[in-house]
Chain A
Amino acid sequence: MNQSIDYNALDDDAFRRLVHDWMVANYPEELRFPPERMHWEQCGRWYLKLAEKGWLAPGWPREYGGMGLDANKLLIFMDVCESHGVGRTPDQGMTMVGPLLIQHGSAEQKAYYLPRILAGEHIWCQGYSEPGAGSDLASLRTSAVRDGDHYVVNGHKIWTTLAMDANMIFMLVRTQNTGKKQEGITFLLVPLDTPGITVRPIINLGMHDEFAEVFFDDVRVPVANVVGGENNGWTIAKALLGHERIFIGSPKFATLAMYRLQSLARAVGLFDDPLFVSRYTALKLDVEDLGAAYRRFVAVLKRGGHIGAEVSMLKIWNTETQQRITELMLEAAGESAGIWGGVATADGPVRPAGEFIGSRPTTIYGGSNEVQRNILAKAALGLPG
């Protein structure tokens, strides 16, 4: 698993060139700037190519097969990918389960699961939310009842991103009904081909089957698949949310949106309009300045420190900036704001309607921005309530 190359030792320009040249040479042209989240059948081969190169997990430590990039190099890596239109793969193994297992998994779990993520053998999805448990996640009801060395799982998860492409789900289940809601929750790893699991795709606002419902009907899961011990799931999940929020707090998506806005503005001649240039630059600086904040937080992780609830500020800033960028794209597109097809540009078609719609849920998932503000009010400002 150990990666021998120390990318952090390269100077920034050399690293940028290295990543850029490899992406240009290897990323499939037809997948550049995909209009929506790609399914496995589209991007599976690319995923495996990245895996083979050892670039699937830029943020993981090298000893676990990651690139071990520091914050600065991570940002360069992201920027190169976004400027080239490198689409997102089903990446929840890399962004979520991996970091979680590195922190909280047993030695056996690390040895078993991490290489399978890196090899593209396990594609993960996240089974937290339920119809009745969204923002109030702790009220989740999907139950796991102990039966010998198995749990029997029954319940209903929803909004599970790319569940139809995954073969593994990490989920929160209720193992205890007494005491505080948070105290009876367990973190469980479940192969999706276990009998009793049904996945039903849901069409999203962009008319794409990007998420799904997952039904569990007497599904038997080995007790060994628990991470962090029975009834410790809430603590584990909170630690993972930290990783999720630093990922959705990274300037990745806002950077991509900015590149799309730039292509669109060039195509329709808006850079001659001083009013547009001023608004464009304000957004550009919103993204740049987010980069500064992101660097500061990632540095804490790299030092081995702990990031608390403060990280929510990144998520709020990033997602709302991204939304404003796509709103300016709508404005720039005139009547084409109302069509799926979008506008032809030198960098391929830009679809403002799709970008605008696609950026809506970023303020809903990963803990809605309202809930993040509630958390910051208490955790950062010490406000009562």
Chain B
Amino acid sequence: MEDISLQAKIDVLSEEQVLIQDSAVAFIARDPELKQVRANRFVQPGFDRGLWREIADAGWLGFLVPEDEGGVGLGFADLSLVLIQLGKGLVPVPFVATAVLAARTLTRADDAALRAELLPRLIGGDWLPALAWQEARASLDPTAREVVCTNGRLHGTKCFVPDAGGADAFIVSAAEAGGTALYLVERDAPGVTLAFEQRVDGGFFAEIRFADTPVGKQLVAPERGAAVLAAALDEARFAVSAELLGVMTRALEISVDYLKQRVQFDKPIGSFQALQHKAVDLFIQSEVSRSVVLQTAALFDGDADAERRAVAASQVKARCSDAALKIGKDAIQLHGGIGYTDEANIGLYLKKAMVLGAWLGSASAHRARYAELTLGGAQ
């Protein structure tokens, strides 16, 4: 499929980045018909463990883990090149949930020995932890309130935990004296119950209930827990935005291709100006999104200030969630009847945009947060 993005025309990549991108492009090129996506839909755990291992072998799981902790020690710009391709290929793995959200929580764990024990297992692909932080629909708040830890026992419910059915352990935030602490909880610990909701993209969200569940090791003390989570969440918001960029880019490529192939009234429908204008509007959406992803990657790679990162994360998540949904739904329109079938792959992109657009905060939630964080001066 022809790459219609402006990247090759106007952006510069380092030699190393070209290699990263090429290997990610090659990785998704193996499944052009999205057979793996379809094979894993609506069956637990909703992702492919074999693919996960291959991704581990490619080294991508350790991108954001420092070299001295056993990782690759690369940056967000580098990672985004992989994420864009995973988005384009709709690769059914919990990359952002595990290799960004959970991994970046673990890289901030208090105890170096614990980090040294857990991170290599995650990076190697043998151990998949799922982070359970959220306690209410549409909440962006990293402070735990509902799930409480008393005397080493957890009580309460977490929601919208992605792909938890295949997790080997949970990282759970819990309220206790002094703030929000983070604990490791074994997958089969007593008192843990999972209730699954089928997502439209074929994966699952879990609601996880803890009833007198003994916690494992403490990863982060209550004084730092909320801040650690907030930082990891903003990094994950950036990462999922890059994935959404891949989703929207490929949806547009497929649609443009279709406009050239499909003939009605003895002409390719791409010759009709109404459709040309629509396609161009979508192209602009995707390139503005790409610009914001690039800008945010640079900021994350160069600036550790939590507030500036939060503003940038909300900006990029709002843009990419919005643009991916717009492109996804207009792509259906451009396809006509065939676009409204399960058989056609274009619909899979719309569904992925629906899921990722809402996860970790929708466009409107992030616009509201952006306003909260930035309007102070303006008022």
- Chain A contact residues, CB within 8 Å of chain B: 129, 132, 134-136, 139, 158-159, 202-205, 207, 268, 323, 327, 330-331, 333-341, 343, 353, 356-357, 360-361, 363-365, 368-370, 373-374
Contacts and interface: CB of A to CB of B under 8 A. Distances in A.
A129 B134 CA distance: 47
Interface in B117-163: 134, 137-138, 159-160
Contacts of B333: 360, 363-364, 368-369
A341 B197 contact: yes
A370 B337 contact: no
B303 interface: no
A187 to B, nearest CB: 21
Contacts of A337: 354, 357-358, 362
Given A338-B205, A341-B198, A370-B272, A333 B358 contact: yes
Interface of B: 134, 137-138, 159-160, 197-201, 205, 263-266, 269, 272, 274-275, 325, 329, 332-333, 336-337, 339-343, 347, 350-351, 354-359, 362-365
A204 B197 CA distance: 21
Given A340-B198, A368-B336, A135 B265 contact: yes
A334 B343 contact: no
A132 B269 CA distance: 12
Contacts of A268: 137-138
B40 to A, nearest CB: 15
B370 to A, nearest CB: 14
B205 A134 contact: no
B200 A370 contact: no
A350 to B, nearest CB: 13
Contacts of B358: 330, 333-338
A338 B274 CA distance: 30
Nearest to A323: B329
A364 B336 CA distance: 6
B354 A338 contact: yes
B342 A204 contact: yes
A226 to B, nearest CB: 27
A202 B197 contact: no
Contacts of A333: 137, 358
7 contacts: A135-B265, A205-B342, A337-B358, A338-B199, A338-B200, A340-B200, A368-B333
B341 A356 contact: no
Nearest to A334: B138
Contacts of B200: 338-340, 353, 357
A358 B362 CA distance: 21
A355 to B, nearest CB: 12
Contacts of B138: 268, 334-335
A49 to B, nearest CB: 31
A369 B364 CA distance: 28
Given A205-B339, A334-B137, A336-B137, 9 more contacts: A136-B264, A136-B266, A204-B342, A205-B332, A205-B340, A333-B137, A338-B199, A338-B355, A364-B339
Contacts of A357: 200, 350
B359 to A, nearest CB: 6
Contacts of A134: 264, 336-337
B205 A339 contact: yes
Nearest to A137: B264
Nearest to A136: B264
A129 B138 CA distance: 42
A370 B138 CA distance: 35
Given A205-B347, A353-B354, A338 B340 contact: no
Contacts of A369: 333
A360 B332 contact: yes
Contact of A374 (B137, B205, B274): B274
B332 A135 contact: no
A338 B359 contact: yes
B337 A364 contact: yes
B91 to A, nearest CB: 17
Nearest to A364: B336
A369 B336 CA distance: 11
B130 to A, nearest CB: 15
Nearest to B356: A338
